[in-house]
Amino acid sequence: MRNFYLLLALLVFLVLQAVLAPRIALGSIAPDFLLLVVVFFALYRGSVRGALLGFAVGLLQDLGNPDHLGLNALTKSLLGYFVGDAGTKTFPESVTILFGLFAVSALGHDVIYLTIFHWPRVGSAFVTVVTAAIPSAVYTALFGVLVDRVFALAGAKVVGVFGKEG
């Protein structure tokens, strides 16, 4: 049953990414809802499951851009693993720390993604990181905090979707 709810949550975030993200994008600056779902899941369920979901979500995203099939899978696996690893040590309760975690996760993900995407033109990757990735990370982090607040208001039922133990 928990897996069914997880699939449902994934579908909701997928729809948000497909429908809402392009509409609220400011040029190349847009929130990454699929990154948020990986971060939330990894925080609640640890590094192994985080990495596995990251790979699956990334692969799903890559299907729309087969020229770089495997790139999102790689970056989101790493994201799920490292966020999950951090989450098992301490779960960030403070909004500021949570915002920082989302922003750093999104930025780290984009730095790896853009470096490989633009390789060997590292200069182009740097420009895109400065002009698009940093503002996008802040944008994504804002939505991350918003989603966390929604989860907090909805209580244990919604948190259970991601499987927080105890």
Binding residues for another protein, rule: CB under 8 A, are 11, 14-15, 17-19, 21-23, 25-28, 30, 32, 34, 46-48, 51-52, 54-55, 58-74, 77-78, 81, 85, 116, 132, 136
Tokens 């990334």 sit on residue: 58
- Is residue 82 a contact partner of residue 111, using CB atoms and an 8 Å limit? no
- Is residue 136 a contact partner of residue 106, using CB atoms and an 8 Å limit? yes
Cβ distance to another protein smaller for residue 51 or 161: 51
Neighbour count for residue 7 (Cβ, 10 Å)? 11
Task: Give least dist CB 63 to another protein, A.
Answer: 5
Residue type for position 109: H
H or E segment and range at residue 61: helix 47-62
Cβ distance to another protein smaller for residue 5 or 160: 5
Cβ distance to another protein smaller for residue 60 or 160: 60
Cβ distance to another protein smaller for residue 123 or 155: 123
Cβ distance to another protein smaller for residue 85 or 145: 85
Torsion angle of C-alpha atoms 30, 6, 162, 46, degrees rounded to 10: -90
Helix axes 95-118, 134-154, angle to 10 degrees: 140
Task: Give least dist CB 132 to another protein, A.
Answer: 8
Task: Give least dist CB 67 to another protein, A.
Answer: 7
Which residues lie across from 29 on neighbouring strands? 26
Task: Give least dist CB 155 to another protein, A.
Answer: 27
Task: Give least dist CB 14 to another protein, A.
Answer: 7
Q: What is the DSSP letter of 67?
A: G
